[in-house]
Amino acid sequence: MQNHEVLIERGPGWHRVVLDAAASQNKLSPRIVDALRDALRGCEADPVARALIIEGSGGHFSSGMDLEAAVTGHAVKGSGGQRFLELLRHMTEANVVVISVVDGKASGGGVGLAAASDYVIATLRSVFSLPEILWGLVPCLIAPFLIRRIGFQACQRMTLTTLPIDAEAALACGLVDTLADDALPKLLQRLRMVAPEGIGRAKRYLGRLGAIDDATLDGALDELETILASPDVVQRLTEFAHSRRYPWEVVTARGLADDGARAGGADMSRAWLFPGQGTQRRGMGAQLFDLFPGLVAKADQILGYSIRELCVEDPDDRLSTTEYCQPALFVVNALMFLERRRREPWPAFLAGHSLGEFSALFAAGCFDFETGLRIVLCRARCMAPASNGAMLAVIGPDLEQLLGVIDELGLMGLDVANYNLPTQTVLAGPDASIAALDAVLVKRELARTVYLHVGGAFHSRYAVEAATRFRDMLRDFELADPKRPTVSSVTGAVYRPGTVREVLETQIVRPVRWVDTMQFLRDRGVTEAFQIGPGRVLDGLWERFEPAAGVLPGRPGQLAMQ
């Protein structure tokens, strides 16, 4: 062992170095770079060694350069950057075969390690990317080695698009040599038959044929030093160093919203709808967590447990409880939004159903991912203890017919909680009142009814205590106005400036006006709406909605709260 960030192992004819700084995704800190240089020298000094194997731990090969070092000026001449460049050059000239085994993500300098290796083995989980220009950087130090390995055009494409490529694409362009599971033992066995001096001689000769001259490498250092003198670049790197948020994850929707506002191009016929509690399911988000490791790690830190395990495995049926369900849905909705935004232009409007409204506001730039998750966690903890009352979905009669039955039975303790369709209403109230209404509706065959699996009579007068607790907690958070048109399901209209806090403070005790929300969107020319979250509940409501079918009426008393 060289240090706690790198593990060294020796075998018959080979040395192995494992980057073991999983918390930083094996970023190439000065300590790791020095350890790699020492490991390479040690391997060369071993008379029986033919190969140095480089691997990464924790599902990552390497996330690349140490941005903290770049911010403080340690990535230029005479320090970290120069040592890294010297490492890459040494790898191409060493008298042993350098083999990189990439299992997981390789970004920036991690791609450089692969490019400078003599042989690269990858798995189907491998992903390669050059995100540098997202910060205003250029992959100066690795470009000479990458061009030599995959050619100018492929290097330019990776650099300018910043798009990650999978293992098969990397194999096709020459960055990867094989995806075979048994490639490493076979190669090591073959190398044991090679004459000790043959490897060094061959590499030095072939290196002269495809030489990278000193002037090119000096120019790379000069270019990096010039770029790091830019205040804008330093600011971006500083923000990343403090937040650990990767630009390519588009972590703050505030930034997304700003970009969209500047760029325009929204599809005015579309809306994105974010679902709320009740749409959760085991397995949700399974395809998303690997796309946004920084956000997943931040969520784990805030929640104190694995969000991936909760969503994918749902141990002890936790997703059925408010305290676990609400943060999980917020995370999955947010990641689905970020992934969708990579592929598609902005819609004309955003909207969210109940809890989903927080996801819509995140997408609209009212708060960043971390803030949004903390807010939703507070909301869940406020609502979880509210075990009084029940909620019943009534499907069939229109609202006026349903209110007539309620009046007839004298059940004035019931509130309209969700008005989802003209023929689908959710009521909230005391258990006895809900049970009495349910019995009559079923007996008279007036409706199909479904009890909602929630922790209390939410979106009604019976959630006042939870709303009061949440209002007090919400004071600790800063809330910006939406930067994209966002329809509130509390009001059925677009948020006006300065109203986000007021709406969220009272949301828990006010009905979800989803019919009003869909009518508003229809009136503004929206013809397509897509659910951004698990399932298709909101897609189904949109497909069945008939425009101008009626909105939630103002009604005396608490039945339809204003």
Distance CA 487, CA 519 (A): 11
Q: How many CB atoms lie within 10 A of CB 448?
A: 12
Catalogue the long-range contacts made by 159-163 (C-beta closer than 8 Å, 24 or more residues apart). Answer: 159/130, 159/132, 159/133, 160/133, 162/129, 162/130, 162/131, 162/132, 162/133, 162/134, 162/248, 163/129
- Strand-pair category, 105-107 with 127-129: parallel
Q: Position 524: which residue type? A: R
Distance CA 198, CA 319 (A): 61
Query: Within a 13 Å sphere around the CA of 68, how many CA atoms are in the beta-carbon half?
Result: 11
CB 295 within 8 A of CB 251: yes
CB 131 within 8 A of CB 247: yes
71 to each of 224, 237, 239, how far by Cα in Å?
12, 6, 10
399 to each of 425, 492, 546, how far by Cα in Å?
7, 17, 15
CB 171 within 8 A of CB 178: yes
Distance CA 324, CA 381 (A): 9
Distance CA 391, CA 428 (A): 4
Known active-site residue 459: yes
Q: DSSP letter at 65?
A: B
Q: DSSP letter at 115?
A: H
Looking at the DSSP assignment, which residues form a beta bridge with residue 390? 429
Residue 44 tokens read as: 């060369």
Question: By three-state DSSP, how is residue 552 classified?
Answer: coil
Token pair 């190669």 is at which residue? 187
Residue 461 tokens read as: 């007068």
Residue 499 tokens read as: 């109203």
- Selected catalytic residue, list 354, 359, 433, 489: 354
Residue 552 tokens read as: 């939630």
Known active-site residue 460: no
Q: DSSP letter at 104?
A: S
The residues near 530 (Cβ < 8 Å, ≥ 6 apart) are 270, 271, 272, 273, 347, 539
In this structure, the chain runs to a length of 562
- Selected catalytic residue, list 100, 459, 460, 489: 459
209 to each of 147, 204, 206, 376, how far by Cα in Å?
14, 9, 5, 60
Which residue intervals of 276-355 are DSSP H helices?
293-303, 307-313, 322-343
Distance CA 329, CA 397 (A): 30
3-state helix, strand, coil in the chain (%, to 5): 50, 15, 35
CB 73 within 8 A of CB 37: no
Q: Which residues are catalytic?
A: 354, 459
